[in-house]
Amino acid sequence: MKHLLIDPSKAQAPTRDLPSGAQVASSLPDAKETKIHPRNPGSVNASLFFVGTATVILQVPTSWWPSVVFMDSRISFIQEIMFILGQDDHFDQNVEASLRRDLPIITTPHAKLHLAESKSDGEAFTAVHDLDLFQDMLVDIAAQGKNRPAVKVTAMPGKHVAPGVIGTLNDWISAVPPTNGWMIELGYRFSDNDDSFQSGYRIYISGDTLMVPELAEIPRRYSGQNIDLMLVHLGGTTIPSASVPLLMVTMDAEMGIQLMKLIDPDVTVPIHYDDYDVFLSPLEDFKKAVREAGLEDKVVYLDRKDAYHFSVKDGQ
Does residue 195 lie in a domain region? yes
Provide mean pLDDT across the span 182-187: 93
Residue with the bigger pLDDT between 177 and 166: it is 177
Considering only 226-235, 272-281, 304-313, which range has the smallest mean pLDDT? 272-281
Using the predicted structure, report yes or no on whether residue 102 has a pLDDT greater than 60.
yes
Residue 165 domain-assigned (yes or no):
yes
Question: Which one is predicted more confidently, 35 or 82?
Answer: 35
* pLDDT above 80: residue 169: no
Domain of 137 in residue numbering reads as 2-6+27-233+302-310
Q: Is 289 within the bounds of a domain?
A: no
Query: Is the Cβ–Cβ distance between 158 and 33 less than 8 Å?
Result: no
Mean pLDDT of 237-247: 64
Among 79, 86, 120, 84, which residue's Cα sits nearest to residue 102?
79
pLDDT at 11: 72
Do the beta carbons of residue 137 and residue 153 sit within 8 Å?
Answer: yes
- Residue-wise pLDDT for 124-153, tens only, equals 988 889 999 999 999 888 877 778 888 999
User: Is the predicted pLDDT of residue 52 greater than 90, yes or no?
Assistant: no
**Listed ranges 117-126, 163-172, 268-277, 282-291; the one with the highest mean pLDDT:** 282-291
pLDDT for the residue 77? 43
Say what the pLDDT of residue 131 is. Answer: 93
Q: pLDDT (tens digit, 9 = 90+) per residue, 198-223?
A: 999 999 999 889 999 999 999 999 99
pLDDT at 278 over 80: no
Residue 134 to residues 3, 86, 153, 194, 195, Cα–Cα distance (Å): 15, 19, 9, 16, 16
What's the chain's average pLDDT?
A: 82
Can you spell out the DSSP letters for 21-44? T----SSPPPPSSEE--SS-----
Taking the C-alpha atoms of residue 270 and residue 282, their distance in angstroms, rounded to an integer, is 11
Strand (E) or helix (H) holding 186:
strand 181-189
How many domains is the chain partitioned into structurally? 1
- pTM, two decimals, is 0.87
In a domain, 71, yes or no: yes
% of the chain surpassing 90 pLDDT: 40
As a 3-state breakdown, the chain gives helix, strand, coil percent values, each rounded to 5, of 20, 30, 50
Encode pLDDT of 20-46 as tens digits: 677 766 677 899 999 999 998 888 988
Distance from C-alpha of 54 to C-alpha of 68, rounded to nearest angstrom: 19
Confidence at 84, pLDDT banded by 50, 70, 90: low
Instruction: Judge whether 159 lies within some domain.
Output: yes
Residue 254 lies in a domain: no
In a domain, 124, yes or no: yes
In a domain, 256, yes or no: no
Residue 195 pLDDT exceeds 50: yes
Highest mean pLDDT among 51-65, 141-155, 183-197, 255-269: 255-269
Give the model's pLDDT for residue 237. 79
